[in-house]
Structure 1
Amino acid sequence: MRNKIKVVSFNIRSDAARDGLNDFHHRKAYILDKLAAERPGIIGFQEITATMQDWLGRYLPEYNFVGCGRSATYDNEYNSIAYRRDILELHGLDVFWLSPTPTVPGTVYEEQSDCPRICVASLLKHKQSSQPFRFYNTHLDHIGQVAQAKGLTQILNRISQDQAVRRFPVILTGDFNFTPSQPQIKVVDQYPELALKDLAAALPTTCTEYGRRNDDFKIDYIYVDAETAETAEPAVVWDECHEGVYLTDHYPICAQVMI
């Protein structure tokens, strides 16, 4: 039996940023209303902080949030996964750093910015399903192209290793910080055994910097395995704007998948 799940990749933009009209305290009511209206089954957040997560958890109690901060002391920005506890249950969780020492908190690649990067790997199961699925969420480096390629390679290596133990449906969400026209994306082609497809491939842009960019700047992705892609609906953007106030500086992307 397959079950429909609404999946979202949501770079929520840290509350530490100084964005004037689009500061988090101006956006938060719109974010809450959108999530309450859409009720996604699972959300891969990027740039969420502990205070933002606490606030969302308080007003969206039907969600569980899992993950930790990316720094050596497990704080700073999170790549949290939020899932609806009424339909999904957690069977496994791991956080690893995108670095030569993935189990050492706060570590980075030599070619990377000063910002540590992480991937949250989870094993979830729909309560009406007989088997789980793998869900990964990440946010790659914003400066180093080599670090971006190494980070993506590390994540795909991990997915490949997990799948070698036992194959389950796979979903990978994230802000990769590069567009599909850049060479880093070719890393995905080096893993034909995973056969990952981007449900957001048709989207021309996902990051507008609160409407300031009008070029094609698609840097957010929802990858799924080929079998899941066969019945999935293409991703759409949440592009609401309320008198100059956006949900975030990216368009959150949303896709319906059958697990």
Structure 2
Amino acid sequence: MKKCAILIFVFLTTFLCITLPCHAQRLNVMSFNIRYQNKQDGNNAWVYRKDNVVYFLNEHHPDVFGLQEVLDEQYIFLCNNLSDYAAVGVGRDDGMRKGEYMPVFFLKNRYKLIDSGTFWLSETPNEVSRGWDAACNRICTWVILKHRKSGKRFLFACTHLDHKGKTSRSNAAILIKQRLESISSGLPIVLVGDFNVSEKSEVYETMCSKPYAFNDTWKVAQKCEGLTYTFNGFGKYDATNGNKIDYIFVSPGMKIKNATIFDSHIAEGRYLSDHNAIWAEIEEY
């Protein structure tokens, strides 16, 4: 009798394991160019925007997000006011605190940092350097994170391509793909950033072409919401003349449930940034 009961238990356990649906690991990610500190921005200077930026990030509460144009004082302020998050980032001009950061923030109670690093978008990516015809030093900061409950790992990277150097942007796109594929060792990849190009550009085509073709979450999402452009110039650009130059790219196989471009407008003449934040809800990775 006891043996029969054990067999029934084993059968039912096996049956449930086979028939019950597996819950896919979801991941909410964001990219946001928050605009560096510039007193010439008047009412949209950082001092007037910073509390609203913190409120915005805490309200939407992404699992992981990458920022662009973050200076050291801004980075410290954000780290001190986003208590749910841990962050990784360095300044592009010395590998420490000088120049703009491309930091990655992640929910520290949900993810464990396994590895991280930064490389320069240049001919010498392992050292502080300026590449090709770029007007500025440019970097890509990456992390490998592990979900504390499921143990699933993925690589998340944040970058900002040059605003002037066409050759720099083209070569940087190739370099980023090669480096991230090597670093990831087969892990899923999420790459976010300000690429300073439209979807019609050579750089965009490079990112979405083989070898290792990324998917643009805006293109493959089951549902897209919000605005259609990401650069607003503090209200100078809108749907009629604004461009989508910020992207969330993911490695093949990821299922995207929702993609959103948020409106940075706060009040008359006031904005969170001269860019609109972008969001993707990854249903499975």
How far residue 73 of structure 1 moved from its aligned partner, in angstroms, is: 5.5
Map 1:1-259; keep pairs closer than 5 Å. 1-16=23-38, 18-72=40-94, 74=96, 75-105=98-128, 107-113=129-135, 115-163=136-184, 165=185, 167-192=186-211, 194-201=212-219, 204-214=228-238, 215-228=241-254, 230-258=255-283, 259=285
How far residue 101 of structure 1 moved from its aligned partner, in angstroms, is: 0.5
Contact persistence 2:159–2:193 (CA under 8 A): yes
Partner AA of 1:81 in structure 2: V
Pair 17,177 (structure 1): closer, same or farther in 2 beyond 3 Å? farther
- Structure 1 Cα separation of the partners of residues 268 and 55 of structure 2: 16
Matched pairs, number:
253
* SS, match of residue 190 in structure 2: strand
- Structure 1 Cα separation of the partners of residues 268 and 108 of structure 2: 34
* SS, match of residue 149 in structure 1: helix
Contact persistence 2:232–2:276 (CA under 8 A): yes
TM-score by length of 1: 0.91
* SS, match of residue 181 in structure 1: coil
Contact persistence 2:190–2:248 (CA under 8 A): yes
Pair 11,231 (structure 1): closer, same or farther in 2 beyond 3 Å? closer
Gap regions ≥5 residues in structure 1: none
Percent sequence identity over matched residues? 30
- Structure 1 Cα separation of the partners of residues 120 and 25 of structure 2: 32
- Structure 2 Cα separation of the partners of residues 73 and 60 of structure 1: 23
126-135 vs 46-55, which moves further? 126-135
Gap regions ≥5 residues in structure 2: 1-22
Partner AA of 2:236 in structure 1: R
- Structure 2 Cα separation of the partners of residues 73 and 39 of structure 1: 28
TM-score by length of 2: 0.84
How far residue 180 of structure 1 moved from its aligned partner, in angstroms, is: 0.8
124-133 vs 168-177, which moves further? 124-133
* SS, match of residue 168 in structure 1: coil
* SS, match of residue 253 in structure 2: helix
How far residue 93 of structure 1 moved from its aligned partner, in angstroms, is: 0.4
In the TM superposition, what whole-angstrom CA distance separates every residue of 1:152-209 from its partner, at most 9, and x where no partner exists? 110001122234x3x11110000001111122222124434x3311113466310010
Q: Which has the larger radius of gyration?
A: 2
Contact persistence 1:236–1:255 (CA under 8 A): no
Partner AA of 1:250 in structure 2: H
Contact persistence 1:3–1:126 (CA under 8 A): no
Contact persistence 2:103–2:141 (CA under 8 A): yes
In the TM superposition, what whole-angstrom CA distance separates every residue of 1:56-96 from its partner, at most 9, and x where no partner exists? 11121111110100003531100000111011111010100
Larger RCO (CA under 8 A, 6+ residues apart):
1
How far residue 135 of structure 1 moved from its aligned partner, in angstroms, is: 0.6
* SS, match of residue 147 in structure 1: helix
Contact persistence 1:199–1:235 (CA under 8 A): no
